[in-house]
Structure 1
Amino acid sequence: MNTQKLIISFFLFVCFGFSGTAQKTILFSKATVHIGNGKVINQGLVGVKGDEIILVENALTHNIDKAVWDTIIDLKGLDIYPGFIAPNSKLGLTEIDAVRATRDFKEVGTFNPHVRSLIAYNAESDVIGTVKTNGVFYTQATPEGGVISGSSSIMSLNAWNWEDAVLKTDDGIHLNWPNPISGGGWSGKSKSLNENYSTKLKEIRSFFEAAHAYSKSTDIFDQRFEAMRELFTGEKRLYIHGNQMRAILDIIDFQRELNINYPVIVGGYDAHKVTSELVTANVPVIIKGGHTLPSNEDDPIDLPYRLPYLLNEAGVLFCIQNSGRMETMNTRNLPFLAGTAMAYGLNQGEALSAITLNTAKILGIGEIVGSIEVGKKATLFVNNGNALDMRTNNIITGMINGEFIDLTNIQTDLYDKYQEKYKKDQQN
């Protein structure tokens, strides 16, 4: 514990010492470096200049020129991980689920592609601090509601405001696919075909066809269709939320018919049943993490836990999200969802990729974040333990876009406060 305190104190010194000197060079030396692409470098070197990673090497084969580096930090015995990314999240869009005034992720209306989560993002959310403590450094702020919810944006969790936080603006439109089958599961209702399914699909198709026709014209202006223009030019992703097998197959046909360049399925509970179709269509999946019950009473009890392994074995590109009840504050558990997937078949590199590089690739930011590689943003953290294991995850310091960040939050402040109280009580 004393050694850790010394290390933390040193990092605080570095943090304050380098404020305002963005182009200083820092070398993290002799740590175990988890790249994020499945590779691990024991005794690794990670060099940072400004907000960019400029060196990733093995200390055993690379000669260190000490004159090149302003600061060299010896991290022998510790681990370096890339910052985790939380896709499909309301983090920053809501503070307290039970207080309506703090929920800013849903607008009235059915087709709202022009709604932007970007401008609703609250960089000062108290929840964000509790999430950073476990290594989650980026989030996809995602709207909800209606048939088309609006546009998400990729945000940094270390920022003054939403303008400062944005990593990628309006990365994609979110479409909520109707359920072909209603009932079943734990509702107690028997399964039945959704009689309105075909009608709802026609409405969706009609809206998209109109938007597609609009994208080829510049004669008129429509705010909703304008927001969808880049779907058809290949600059924006279409995130289609659906879980049932029939829905997934219809989604694959839908994106193919409309020539959507970057479709992504969000949810994908039945994706393991149609892996060959997903691979052929090159459609990635953002799956819900495994800390949940099966959706159907006849499913294997461990299906939600094994789903990442099943998709990985089939060659489907996927990443892990944590949508559901209390998802905002539970974003801090994202690394442990990956850890659970590791316990059910994935190796450590595959599990780590499911919340780092795979996520970045699916969100269209894989060239700048998601792994510890030269040329990418210096977003990483130093850990004393396995970051995917809730029993040993212990972040010592973190860096987002080349800036050391404060890892304290309201919970750590209360812990320190009451630790001092009990120490005084014992002394008295």
Structure 2
Amino acid sequence: MKVLRIILTITIFLCMGLSGSAQKTILLSKGRVHVGNGKVINQGLVGIKGDKIILVDNALTHNLDKSAWDTIIDLKGLDVYPGFFAPNSKLGLTEIDAVRATRDFNEVGAYNPHVRSLTAFNVESDIIGTVKTNGVFYSQATPEGGVISGSSSVMSLNGWNWEDAVLKKDDGIHLNWPSTVSGGWSTPKKSSEDYSSQLKEIRAFFEAALSYSSSKDLYDPRFEAMRALFNGEKRLYIHADQMRALLDIIDFQRDLKIKYPVIIGGYDSHKVADQLNSSNIPVIIKGGHTLPENEDDPVDFPYRLPFLLKEAGVLFCIQNSGRMETMNSRNIPFLAGTAMAYGLTEEEAITAISLSTAKILGVDKIVGSIEEGKIATLFVNKGTPLDMRTNNLIFGIINGEFVDLSNVQTKLYDKYKKKYEDQK
């Protein structure tokens, strides 16, 4: 294995000199390619030119002309995966949660659709390096707080600044739906007395925004940011969990003519799967490494939710919002691995953090899977990235460029490993 790493490292250094030119071509040969759409090519060929994938085929049937490629990397015995996503994430928007100056995801005020996470995204975050090490190469930089938090953007985790890193600007606006219940583990749950009045306030704001969207004579920065919700250029991400809230959201998006609504959270989404399907509403569910929301729920329910939605035909993907979510973005592949242990196949689990996420975020035409014409973002692994015991990235490519997979943690490990080896 060490010899393999040395050979590939030398090859990659040579390729890094080539990847800056769009005219150079690289062929990844005979690796097991997990396309991201459920298909697997056991001895695959993946050709890259500039930042695009120009060839995906089976090495056993493809008539390969080696002279057509500037560099060929032999990946026999290794696996190739599409870059994974971290949707609904504060990655790049915060560094140390305990230090207010590094938290740039929550603005003052309740209704902030015009606030953009895009320009706050920090490509120099040390946390980003730890996430890339596990194959997470894209994130959805998402604001929090208030009733309407602001606009998220889909970002590549590689670039000199946010202009380099952005994949899709202002992909959607985030609405925090009021909870239908009050109470929790320490106190009995009951229906929220404020739910109806809160919902009435939200509806009034959206009705005003809808009326504004048909006018050209007025200017309001908040309503201007929402104009794209009604013409389909932006998605509306609605953070909600309870069944009553989900049913109300279905009525809400229909009445307000929201073209692309998305549920984030969706704890009870399996209970209203038919309604979600009929309204074409996908769900970004919280990963399974968490406790059930209700005392009488099965303890393994969060682990089984992906399988329940898959069986019901609901389009879903996996995210990891919650306590210490930024640093734990690196665990998204392992959340998919847990879903695999509770019903999903390996390829379905991979799709849940790659192509399905890209579809829900509206970028599946350019990223999310290893297919011809898409941006070359992928990684090569020894073992499966869904299991922390075997996950072992050999190298990664983002937007056609080989990327450094080391981080502050791996550098410290190497530093002190060498120190104590030298003392022997």
Short-chain TM bin: over 0.9
Instruction: Measure, in 2, the Cα distance between the counterparts of 1:23 and 1:249.
Output: 52
**C-alpha deviation, 1:9, in angstroms:** 2.1
Matching residue of 2:180? 180
Q: Does 1:248 align with 2:228?
A: no
Instruction: Measure, in 1, the Cα distance between the counterparts of 2:282 and 2:211.
Output: 26
Contact kept, 8 Å, 2:175 with 2:239, in 1: the verdict is yes
Instruction: Measure, in 1, the Cα distance between the counterparts of 2:164 and 2:247.
Output: 39
Deviation per CA, 1:17-64, whole angstroms, max 9, x where unpaired? 225323310000000000000000000000000000000000000011
Instruction: Measure, in 1, the Cα distance between the counterparts of 2:20 and 2:386.
Output: 33
Gaps of 5+ in 1: none
Secondary structure of 2:150's aligned partner: strand
Matching residue of 2:81? 81
Instruction: Measure, in 1, the Cα distance between the counterparts of 2:183 and 2:290.
Output: 18
Instruction: Measure, in 2, the Cα distance between the counterparts of 1:41 and 1:134.
Output: 22
Contact kept, 8 Å, 2:151 with 2:171, in 1: the verdict is yes
Matching residue of 2:396? 398
- One-letter amino acid matched to 1:204: I
Instruction: Measure, in 2, the Cα distance between the counterparts of 1:272 and 1:145.
Output: 26
Contact kept, 8 Å, 1:284 with 1:362, in 2: the verdict is yes
Instruction: Measure, in 1, the Cα distance between the counterparts of 2:164 and 2:239.
Output: 29
Contact kept, 8 Å, 1:26 with 1:70, in 2: the verdict is yes
Instruction: Measure, in 2, the Cα distance between the counterparts of 1:7 and 1:343.
Output: 34
Gaps of 5+ in 2: none
Secondary structure of 1:54's aligned partner: strand
Matching residue of 1:48? 48
- One-letter amino acid matched to 1:44: G
Secondary structure of 2:252's aligned partner: helix
Matching residue of 1:164? 164
Matching residue of 1:380? 378
Partner of residue 306 from structure 2, selected from 290, 299, 308: 308
Deviation per CA, 1:234-253, whole angstroms, max 9, x where unpaired? 11000000001101111111
Instruction: Measure, in 2, the Cα distance between the counterparts of 1:368 and 1:355.
Output: 15
**C-alpha deviation, 1:16, in angstroms:** 3.3
Instruction: Measure, in 2, the Cα distance between the counterparts of 1:266 and 1:395.
Output: 30
Instruction: Measure, in 2, the Cα distance between the counterparts of 1:292 and 1:159.
Output: 33
- One-letter amino acid matched to 1:63: N
Report the TM-score, using the length of structure 2 for normalisation.
Answer: 0.99
- Is the deviation greater in 356-365 or in 189-198? 189-198
Instruction: Measure, in 2, the Cα distance between the counterparts of 1:393 and 1:61.
Output: 30
Secondary structure of 2:423's aligned partner: helix
Matching residue of 1:230? 228
Matching residue of 2:286? 288
What is the correspondence of 1:27-426 to structure 2 with a 5 Å cutoff?
27-184=27-184, 186=185, 188-426=186-424
Secondary structure of 1:274's aligned partner: helix
- Give the 3 Å change call, closer, same or farther, for CA 240–74 of structure 1 in structure 2: same
**C-alpha deviation, 1:10, in angstroms:** 2.3
Deviation per CA, 1:127-175, whole angstroms, max 9, x where unpaired? 0000000000000000000000000000010010111110000000000
- Is the deviation greater in 282-291 or in 67-76? 67-76
Contact kept, 8 Å, 2:19 with 2:400, in 1: the verdict is no
- One-letter amino acid matched to 1:216: S
Instruction: Measure, in 1, the Cα distance between the counterparts of 2:19 and 2:46.
Output: 20
Instruction: Measure, in 2, the Cα distance between the counterparts of 1:266 and 1:145.
Output: 14
Deviation per CA, 1:295-349, whole angstroms, max 9, x where unpaired? 1000011000000000000000000000000000000000000000000000011
Instruction: Measure, in 1, the Cα distance between the counterparts of 2:252 and 2:237.
Output: 13
Instruction: Measure, in 2, the Cα distance between the counterparts of 1:77 and 1:158.
Output: 27
Q: Show structure 1 runs of 4+ deviating over 3 A.
A: none
Report the number of matched residues: 424
- One-letter amino acid matched to 2:271: K
Secondary structure of 1:33's aligned partner: strand
**C-alpha deviation, 1:398, in angstroms:** 0.3
Contact kept, 8 Å, 2:114 with 2:225, in 1: the verdict is yes
Instruction: Measure, in 1, the Cα distance between the counterparts of 2:73 and 2:35.
Output: 18
User: Percent of aligned pairs with the same residue?
Assistant: 74
- One-letter amino acid matched to 1:35: V
Deviation per CA, 1:185-239, whole angstroms, max 9, x where unpaired? x2x1111111111100111000000000000001010000000000001110000
Contact kept, 8 Å, 1:11 with 1:397, in 2: the verdict is no
Instruction: Measure, in 1, the Cα distance between the counterparts of 2:98 and 2:27.
Output: 45
Contact kept, 8 Å, 2:85 with 2:357, in 1: the verdict is yes
Report the TM-score, using the length of structure 1 for normalisation.
Answer: 0.98
Deviation per CA, 1:362-403, whole angstroms, max 9, x where unpaired? 000000000000000000001011111111010000000000
Secondary structure of 2:188's aligned partner: coil
Instruction: Measure, in 2, the Cα distance between the counterparts of 1:20 and 1:112.
Output: 40
Secondary structure of 2:48's aligned partner: strand
